[in-house]
Structure 1
Amino acid sequence: MIEIRDLHVDYGKVSAVRGVSVTARPGRVTLVLGANGAGKTTTLRTVAGLTTPSSGDVLLDGESIKGWPAHKILKRGISLVPEGRKVFGSLTVHENLKIGGLVASKKAREESMRTVFEMFPILEERQSGPAGLLSGGEQQMLAFGRSLMSQPGYILMDEPSMGLAPAVVDRVMASVRSIADRGIGVLMVEQNAEAGMKIADDVVVVNRGESVYSGPVDEARNHSSVVLAFLGEAALTGTDN
Structure 2
Amino acid sequence: MLQIADLHVRYATAEAVRGVDLTATPGRVTLVLGANGAGKTSTLRAAAGLVPAHRGTVVLDGNDVTGHPPHAVVRAGMVLVPEGRRVFAPLTVEENLVLGGYTVPKARSRELMERVFALFPILRERRRGPAGLLSGGEQQMLAFGRALMAQPRVVLLDEPSMGLAPAMVASVLGAVREMADSGLAVLLVEQNAEAGLAVADEVVAMARGEVVFRGAADLARSHASVLRVFLGEAALANKL
Same fold (TM over 0.5): yes
Deviation at 1:237, TM superposition (A): 10
Query: What pairs up with 1:1-241 in 2 under 5 angstroms?
Result: 1-232=1-232
Relative to 1, partners in 2 of residues 1:236 and 1:21: Cα closer, same or farther, differing over 3 Å?
farther
| 1:68-113 superposed Cα distances (whole Å, 9 cap, x missing partner) | 1111110011011110000000100000000000011112211110
Q: How many residues align?
A: 237
Task: Give the unaligned 5+ runs of structure 2.
Answer: none
CA distance in 1, matches of 2:83, 2:230: 20
Deviations 1:168-210 (A, max 9, x none): 0010011110111100111010000000000000100010000
Question: Helix, strand or coil: the match of 2:59?
Answer: strand
Hey, what's the Cα distance between the residues in 2 that align with 1:39 and 1:237?
21
Q: How far does residue 230 in structure 1 lie from its aligned partner after superposition?
A: 3.5
Aligned AA (1:166): P
Query: In the aligned structure 2, how far is the partner of 1:5 from the partner of 1:108?
Result: 34
Deviations 1:54-75 (A, max 9, x none): 1111111222211111111100
Q: Determine what percentage of the aligned residue pairs are the same residue.
A: 59
Q: Hey, what's the Cα distance between the residues in 1 that align with 2:220 and 2:99?
A: 38
Q: Structure 1 CA distance, aligned partners of 2:126 and 2:56? A: 44
TM-score when normalising by structure 2: 0.95
C-alpha distance 174-237 of structure 1, shift in aligned 2 (>3 A): closer
> How far does the alpha carbon of each residue in 1:36-61 deviate from its partner, in whole angstroms, 9 at most, with x for none?
01110010001111111111111112
Unmatched segments (≥5 aa) in structure 1: none
Is the Cα–Cα contact under 8 Å of residues 225 and 236 in structure 1 kept in the other structure? no
Please give the secondary structure, in 1, of the residue aligned with 2:102.
coil
3-state SS of 2:231 partner: coil
Q: CA RMSD in A?
A: 1.5
Is this contact kept in 2: 1:9–1:52, CA < 8 A? yes
Tell me by how many angstroms 1:235 deviates.
6.0
Q: Tell me, what secondary structure is at the counterpart of 2:17?
A: strand
Q: Is the 8 A contact 2:116 2:148 kept in 1?
A: yes
Quote the Cα distance in structure 2 between the aligned partners of 1:88 and 1:227.
36
Distance 2:143 2:158 in 1: 11
Looking at structure 2, the residues matched to 186 and 167 of structure 1 have their Cα atoms a distance apart, in angstroms, of 23
TM-score, normalised with respect to structure 1: 0.95
Contact 2:227 2:236 survives alignment (8 Å): no
Distance 1:237 1:55, change over 3 A: farther
Tell me, yes or no, if the aligned pair for 1:229 and 1:235 is still in contact at 8 Å.
Answer: no
| d(CA) in 2 for partners of 1:86, 1:62 | 30
Tell me how far apart the structure 2 counterparts of residues 235 and 139 of structure 1 sit (CA, whole Å): 35
Distance 2:124 2:229 in 1: 38
